[in-house]
Amino acid sequence: MYPAMSAAQNIRIQLITVSVGIVLLLIKFYAFKITGSNAILTDALESIINVVAGFVALYSLILANIPTDKNHPYGHGKVEFLSAGFEGTLIFLAGVIICGKSVYNMFFPHELSSVDIGLALTAFAGLINYIMGAVLERRGHKTNSLTMVADGKHLKSDAYSSAGLVLGLIIIFFTKVAWIDNVVAMLFGMLISFTGFKVLRHSVAGIMDEADDELNSRVIKILNAHRTENWIDVHNLRIIRYGARLHIDCHLTIPWYYKVREAHEEVDKLEELMAKSFDSNVECFIHLDPCIPEACRFCPKTACLHRQAEFSHLIEWLPENVLLNQKHGYQYRNKA
């Protein structure tokens, strides 16, 4: 699937999600109106955040799809981190407000009504949110879209909150103990704030280009699975995410006697591998290094007339050696 097609589908899915979110928002506020339940109000308030964040996510997906230009040579994908950060902040604040109102109503209680109807509406809205959240999160992981992953996690956390609220409403319905409503609302208000903090933390990490251990491991695993005898080692690996787009820097060590054309063919192979592995939504800057004699014992290239040591064993590429700015085998130079 081409990146442009993936981006268009992401935008379409996000637009559907926002539309459904508006309908669920109206349902939840209707449920609050007829019950007066603080627990249901927590769900309704978070739905406001869902809709606002959904529109921001939609805008960021559209903006991130704009091609690179003179002023943005790496594209516009970083806006997805800002979108996720904005959403995380809204989620966190919604949780704080919910906790505050719950504490207030512990001292100034109010009567609940029509709990059974509110229970049914909350359960229905929670189920729809979970389905939408699962679709968004799966789609976000597939297309490397942090915005869709964040929105999906948000909707799923909303669904989990709804499940807890339904349980609380069932207890209230049978026990007629109204203060349980405030306790349930407070607990899920804290859960919502914690979810918002995690989303915000992840977005800040992206803006700061923090290393993604999971992504690094995935790339290294791909390199291990497709390494050739001409790729003596890969080191100084750096990966930066620009929304759905990845920028990969690395040093590739090849036989020192290769001519420019032969060397360039090895670069092409590595770039094609990364493009194939990440849906063509990746760019690579690869620096070529010549091999050193100390690497001969780890080099599997059999047809080499310049070998200075017998092949001993193959070094498995791991984060511990691929992320270092050092050729494999260089550590033996000073010991010789």
Neighbours of 257 (CB within 10 A): 11
Does the structure show a pLDDT above 90 at 326?
A: no
pLDDT at 280: 57
Question: In terms of pLDDT, which residue wins out, 95 or 226?
Answer: 226
Between 85-89, 255-259, 266-270, 320-324, the lowest mean confidence (pLDDT) is in: 85-89
With contact defined as beta carbons under 8 Å apart, do 70 and 76 qualify? no
pLDDT at 269: 96
Convert the pLDDT of each residue in 117-161 to its tens digit. 877 888 898 899 899 989 988 888 777 676 788 778 778 877 877
pLDDT at 111: 64
CB neighbours of 113 closer than 8 A, spacing ≥ 6? 34, 35, 36
pLDDT at 225: 94
pLDDT at 335: 47
CB neighbours of 71 closer than 8 A, spacing ≥ 6? none
pLDDT at 5: 54
Query: Across all residues in the chain, what is the average pLDDT?
Result: 82
Convert the pLDDT of each residue in 41-53 to its tens digit. 767 877 787 787 7
Closest among 196, 274, 191, 276 to 231, alpha carbons compared: 274
pLDDT at 23: 92
pLDDT at 39: 67
Convert the pLDDT of each residue in 154-196 to its tens digit. 788 778 777 777 777 777 778 777 677 778 778 877 887 887 8
Q: What is the average pLDDT across 302-326?
A: 90
Bridge partners of 240? 247
Could you tell me the pTM of the whole model?
Answer: 0.62
Six-digit token string for 108? 């100034």
Q: What is the average pLDDT across 67-86?
A: 74
Distance in angstroms (rounded) separating the CA atoms of residues 45 and 102: 13
Does the structure show a pLDDT above 70 at 333?
A: no
pLDDT at 68: 74
pLDDT at 240: 85
Distance in angstroms (rounded) separating the CA atoms of residues 126 and 162: 5
Confidence of residue 113 (pLDDT cuts 50, 70, 90): low
Question: In terms of pLDDT, which residue wins out, 148 or 7?
Answer: 148
Q: Residue type for 279, please?
A: D
With contact defined as beta carbons under 8 Å apart, do 119 and 35 qualify? no
Convert the pLDDT of each residue in 14-31 to its tens digit. 889 899 989 988 998 888
Percent of the chain with pLDDT over 70: 90
- In the chain, what are the domains? 3-207 (1.20.1510.10), 213-332 (3.30.70.1350)
Confidence of residue 289 (pLDDT cuts 50, 70, 90): very high
Bridge partners of 233? 253
Question: In terms of pLDDT, which residue wins out, 195 or 322?
Answer: 322
pLDDT at 98: 75
